[in-house]
Copies of this chain bind each other. A is one copy, B any other.
Amino acid sequence: MLGASGYTGGELLRLLADHPSIAVAAATAEANAGARVATLHPGLAAAYPDTVLTALEPAVLDGLDVVFCALPHGTSQEVVPELAGSVGHVVDLGADFRTGASDYERWYGEPHRAAELLPEFAYGIPELFREEIVTAKHVAAPGCYPTAATLALAPLLARDRVEATGIVVDAASGVSGRGRGLSMPSLFSEADGDVRAYGLCDHRHTGEMEAALGRVAGRDVSLLFTPHLVPTTRGLLATCYARPASTGDARSTESLLADFRDHYAGEPFVLVTDEPPGTKATLGSNALHVTVRYDGRTDTVLAIAAEDNLVKGAAGQALQCANLLLGLPETTGLSALGVSP
């Protein structure tokens, strides 16, 4: 695993510790190379009492079945080209391989530096793109916001229940979504007691959501995404608003709930709930909880999804994809149960 000192890397180490078919051959870090896992992640000391993070040397990874990259933004483009040919599969948890080259340049403001590899990457939401993942060489695991918003809206767009424009995604994330880097807004004394929006109108995850939902819908999707920071470590809630399509049968909460239940039937990690889902029930779990409503008074459809941003929104979904790449049962090493309260 590359990038084992951050929160996503730590969460992957936690999940892999109990995985019966994947052993961690190497765990790298940059500034923290030389540090023990047990020092950086004291909760993992029992599983990795002696493991030391090493600096990245691609040769060490030669021949591994799968390499997870949980690297700072932009780093995967540098590293993956060196690895892609010599390892079985890459599961990249960064944004580098999630969209096409032009979308990447549009939202990230710079040309993609490894665009030739983009076709080898499937977008890693198994519930929507399982067939592609199974046959792909590599996987780009989605961001936490796109996972929640896309799974909340997919049944509506796939079934033409709502219009593909005028969608609003109003979402809130816990502070761990900002990563482990040192920055003022990540300080406890700043975030505790604070609720605020950020990245107004131009958050980069917008493009990822539109691209994924566009493929689900079979047409262009346009949405406005407003992320908020709320005072919890983990947990992400996406509250999505859309206008019912003139055709279709979106004008009943009951029928929409039935649509969702049908759409996600048999999915081990998507639970359609009658009640509004809360993030707390998903802590430590790879499950996403989702519900839907039709409001007749304003003729609006609401879909609301809750997840643990570090599990279904990051490390858990990456492992779910890795299981698919390796031909393992998709749920191996993953729990759908939340640690609550």
A residues touching B (Cβ–Cβ < 8 Å)? Answer: 7, 10, 14, 17-18, 39, 41-47, 165-166, 168, 170, 172, 174-176, 178, 180, 182-184, 186-198, 200-201, 222-224, 226, 228, 230-237, 239, 241, 268, 271, 273, 275-285, 287, 289, 293, 295, 297-298, 300, 302, 304, 306, 310, 335-341
Contact = CB atoms under 8 A, between A and B. Distances in A.
Given A42-B340, A44-B337, A231-B232, 13 more contacts: A43-B338, A45-B281, A47-B336, A170-B170, A170-B241, A188-B192, A189-B233, A193-B193, A193-B232, A193-B234, A194-B279, A224-B298, A228-B237
Contact of A295 (B45, B170, B196, B201): B201
When all copies of this chain in the complex are counted, the total is 4
Contacts of A194: 232, 235, 278-280
A65 B297 CA distance: 42
24 contacts: A18-B337, A42-B273, A42-B278, A43-B280, A43-B283, A43-B337, A43-B339, A46-B337, A172-B172, A187-B188, A188-B188, A188-B231, A194-B232, A194-B278, A195-B279, A200-B302, A201-B297, A222-B298, A224-B295, A224-B298, A226-B239, A228-B239, A230-B232, A231-B232
Contact of A302 (B190, B192, B226, B287): B226
A140 to B, nearest CB: 24
A222 to B, nearest CB: 6
A186 B174 CA distance: 16
Interface centre among A168, A189, A289 (most CB of B within 10 A): A189
Nearest to A338: B43
Contacts of A14: 337, 339
Nearest to A47: B337
A190 B283 CA distance: 13
Nearest to A311: B339
Contact of A284 (B174, B192, B287, B339): B339
Given A188-B233, A237-B196, A223 B298 contact: yes
Contact of A193 (B180, B195, B283): B283
A293 to B, nearest CB: 5
